[in-house]
Chain A
Amino acid sequence: MRVAPVALPTTVDEAVEALTEAPGAQLLAGGTDFCVEVNFGLRRPPAVVALRRVRELRRYEVSDSKLVIGAGTTYTDMGSGELAAALPALAAAARTVGSPQIRNAGTLGGNIATASPAGDTLPLLAALDASVTLRGPGGERTVALSDVVTGVKRTSILAEEVVVDVVVDRRPGPQQFLKVGTRNAMVIAIASAAVVVDVEARQVRVALGSVAPVPLRATEAERHIADAIDWSAAGGARVTDSALARFAELVAAAASPITDHRSTAEYRRRAVQVIARRALERCVSRAA
């Protein structure tokens, strides 16, 4: 058995092997969370498995029915090009993360594994019922995102598992991501919302960030608005002001925010209500 403090694998299998061989080894992806903890004395890794050289983690696949996005995909990668065209709300979320320096380093897999309530990609992934591929010594398993992110910075990912990719079904129709913070750059979300309108299934999917320990689906708001929208209106789906107002109320009722150093529970509940409504208004036309 070979134990070394730093493994620089080039394949997922090598990464899993390195994790297995060095108990206590910690996975390092983009480092944007990991290194802050090291710098502030909160993390002292006995051994590290660095994933930056694993090129297969940066692959993506776009088909008519689904998207597979490698866990090593950076926010910069998500923010433009083919991935952004296929998932515009994920691109919008990615572009709100930190700064160019952070977006060049931070990864989708890292956002999931860190499992911060403010993780910017998580609401959209939750709205799309994303599943996560994990690979460990025993092989691969596919787990719903809602079963991966189990609490504030808590996941069900095992110590010897690597996040390989994220799979979402494509939804035909508009989608939006909005976020509230203290400035336009370099900001951790005070509240965020992702809205996906599926014009074929006649469904609206709404997920909220930073207003609960985990990304939250506003299922009552989803059901209400799907029934209220006139899906067959000429020129696309339409919705009335009163239906939008009720939608916003149901979103606020779904939120379960706390007061902390970044904001108050009251402000978060109000903010998420406003941005979820605004996101929906950008997806559907207003009925006269």
Chain B
Amino acid sequence: MPPEGEVPVDTAGETGAPAESPAYVQADRYELEVNGTRETVEDAWLGETLLFVLRERLGLPGSKNACEQGECGSCSVLLDGVVVCACLVLAVDAIGSHIQTVEGLTASADVTDIQSALVASGGVQCGFCTPGFVVAVHELLRRSPDADEMEVREALSGNLCRCTGYGRILEAVRDVQRSRAQSSTGQTLSGRPFGEQSFGAQSFGGSGDVA
């Protein structure tokens, strides 16, 4: 019998089964499930990316905006458990999916062991790329806790850092692997200051001039 299959799709993410998606939605009002909470997006326009909606409409500025073309990884989030650039996800296309941002990697108020290790190793300088790295490392170590250096480098190849030269970031990943191997304690983070700037073609009130 010929092998036949469907590539496994991790729709369960970390927080249970996905919500049912409606066949049609209006782009100006919809709900997203972010960090386990249902959030309502209002007065949006169709072209808004998940990154814009997270930062400017839902008060979650942890995901950073830099390149808006998937080059830098600063906006890395987990969509149904898979790491993607939030700047390349149309926000309405995330309806019914589990979205996990750097703010929601843990339930309690502490920082994750990944964040602590990045600080301790000097892997944070200007800090702009750090949230993207934290999300990418989180996803890598969940999928492959014992990843070797090549696997780590590959997993972080879509995250740009212009300060550290990467050595200290790689060191932080090794530190997390070592300490997790020794013990398996918890990790956390929270805090939601609100960002106000808008960026590029991603801005409020874009619905008026659809070509």
Contacts and interface: CB of A to CB of B under 8 A. Distances in A.
Q: Do A and B bind each other?
A: yes
Interface of A: 2, 4-10, 14, 18, 28, 30-32, 34-36, 38-41, 43-48, 50, 52-53, 55, 58-64, 73-74, 77, 81-83, 98-102, 104-105, 184-186
B90 A38 contact: yes
A52 B88 CA distance: 13
Interface of B: 2-7, 9, 21-27, 46-47, 49, 68-71, 73, 76, 82-85, 87-90, 92-93, 95-96, 136, 154-155, 157-159, 200-202, 209-211
Nearest to A50: B93
A10 to B, nearest CB: 7
A40 B2 contact: no
Contacts of B2: 61-64
A100 B158 contact: yes
A98 to B, nearest CB: 7
B26 to A, nearest CB: 6
- Which of A31, A36, A48, A99 gathers the greatest number of chain B CB atoms within 10 Å? A99
Nearest to B9: A58
Given A10-B21, A45-B46, 15 more contacts: A7-B23, A14-B23, A28-B93, A30-B88, A36-B68, A36-B69, A39-B202, A40-B68, A41-B201, A50-B90, A50-B92, A74-B7, A100-B154, A104-B84, A105-B89
B157 A186 contact: yes
A104 B77 CA distance: 12
Contact of B96 (A8, A30, A36, A100): A8
Given A35-B88, A105-B84, A60 B73 contact: no
A74 B57 CA distance: 29
B136 A100 contact: yes
A40 B89 CA distance: 14
B24 to A, nearest CB: 4
A133 B184 CA distance: 49
A44 B211 contact: yes
Nearest to B49: A35
A6 B29 CA distance: 11
B157 A46 contact: no
A59 B26 contact: no
B140 to A, nearest CB: 8
A52 B93 contact: yes
Contacts of A50: 90, 92-93
A195 to B, nearest CB: 24
A35 B90 contact: yes
Given A77-B7, A101-B158, A6 B21 contact: no
B84 A101 contact: yes
Contacts of A39: 49, 68-69, 87, 200-202
21 contacts: A6-B24, A8-B21, A31-B88, A36-B70, A38-B49, A39-B87, A40-B200, A41-B201, A47-B46, A48-B27, A48-B93, A58-B9, A60-B4, A60-B5, A61-B3, A74-B7, A99-B73, A100-B83, A101-B73, A102-B88, A185-B158
Nearest to A33: B88
Nearest to B7: A77
A18 B24 CA distance: 9
Contacts of B83: 100-101, 104
Nearest to A35: B88
